[in-house]
């Protein structure tokens, strides 16, 4: 089991003597796939995406920069607090939230399946444990539970994909306004009666992925 890092040597802790009461800048070592080593100061609360942009501008003055290729084809890798290599697929996270074991970021080439890897990364952040760590758990009960949840999710997704637009709308949104008795439980009877007494055009805007469809229906409510 890797040794735990205490607050006395934790550079990310705001009360650590080494952090100097959370400095705005922190010195980070960058390891490039071309064999180039770059050390520079970066904002402690900057996102991974912003840090990569700063690195790319700095790397232009170093040898073998053209060999790197496109910036979007690379991502960072670090050793996290659990002493496990973590690929920083989600670049919207801040450096102080990632909390590398040491301020060292390795630039690596992205592999295929970025969408799936990004989803795995976000799930790992939410549950506080990487999915590869769950895969390594040799517990039949855990495996059975994950397998069951996976089947249920697949069945639900297949049902949703087979729905027509009308069926999806009916399943996702109530056809009748709720008449909850109290605040937060739906509109009261006065509001419902007021809506039913009004006539006019009802415009409904529905978003489908990247497109937008507007429906105009002149009906009496």
Q: Give the 3-state secondary structure of residue 184.
A: coil
What's the CA gap between 127 and 62, in Å, rounded? Answer: 39
Task: Report pLDDT digits (tens) over 183-198.
Answer: 544 555 555 555 555 5
Are residues 123 and 30 part of one domain?
Answer: yes
Are residues 149 and 121 part of one domain?
Answer: no
Determine how many CB atoms are found less than 10 A away from the CB of residue 14: 12
- For residue 70, the domain's CATH number is 3.10.20.770
Are residues 83 and 59 part of one domain?
Answer: yes
Domain span at 161: 143-171
> Domain end: 135, 159, 181, which one?
135
Query: Which DSSP symbol is given to 94?
Result: B
Asked if residue 212 belongs to a domain, the reply is no
What are the E-state strand segments in the chain? 25-31, 37-43, 74-79, 85-88, 104-109, 199-208, 211-220
The radius of gyration computed from the CA coordinates of the chain, to the nearest angstrom, equals 26
Residue 89 corresponds to which tokens in the numbers above?
Answer: 């697929």
pTM for this entry: 0.51
- Span of 47-51, 82-86, 93-97 with lowest mean pLDDT: 82-86
Residue 162 corresponds to which tokens in the numbers above?
Answer: 């087979």
Are residues 34 and 77 part of one domain?
Answer: yes
Which residue's entry shows tokens 């770059």?
38
Position 214 confidence tier, pLDDT thresholds 50, 70, 90: very low
């Amino acid at each position: 089991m890797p040794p735990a890092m205490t607050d006395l040597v934790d550079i990310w802790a705001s009360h650590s003597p080494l952090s100097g009461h959370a400095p705005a800048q922190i010195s980070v070592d960058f390891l490039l796939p071309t064999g180039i080593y770059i050390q520079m100061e970066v904002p402690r609360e900057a996102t991974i995406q912003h840090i990569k942009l700063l690195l790319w501008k700095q790397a232009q003055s170093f040898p073998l920069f053209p060999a790197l290729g496109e910036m979007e084809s690379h991502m960072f890798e670090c050793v996290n607090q659990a002493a496990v290599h973590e690929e920083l697929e989600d670049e919207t996270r801040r450096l102080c939230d990632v909390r590398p074991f040491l301020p060292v970021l390795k630039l690596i080439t992205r592999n295929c399946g970025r969408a799936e890897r990004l989803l795995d990364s976000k799930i790992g952040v939410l549950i506080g444990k990487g999915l590869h760590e769950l895969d390594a758990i040799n517990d039949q009960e855990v495996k059975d539970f994950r397998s069951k949840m996976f089947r249920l999710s697949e069945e639900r997704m297949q049902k949703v994909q087979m729905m027509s637009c009308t069926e999806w709308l009916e399943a996702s949104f109530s056809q009748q306004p709720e008449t909850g008795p109290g605040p937060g439980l739906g509109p009261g009877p006065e509001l419902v009666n007021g809506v039913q007494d009004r006539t006019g055009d009802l415009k409904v805007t529905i978003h489908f992925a990247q497109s937008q469809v507007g429906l105009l229906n002149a009906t009496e409510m």
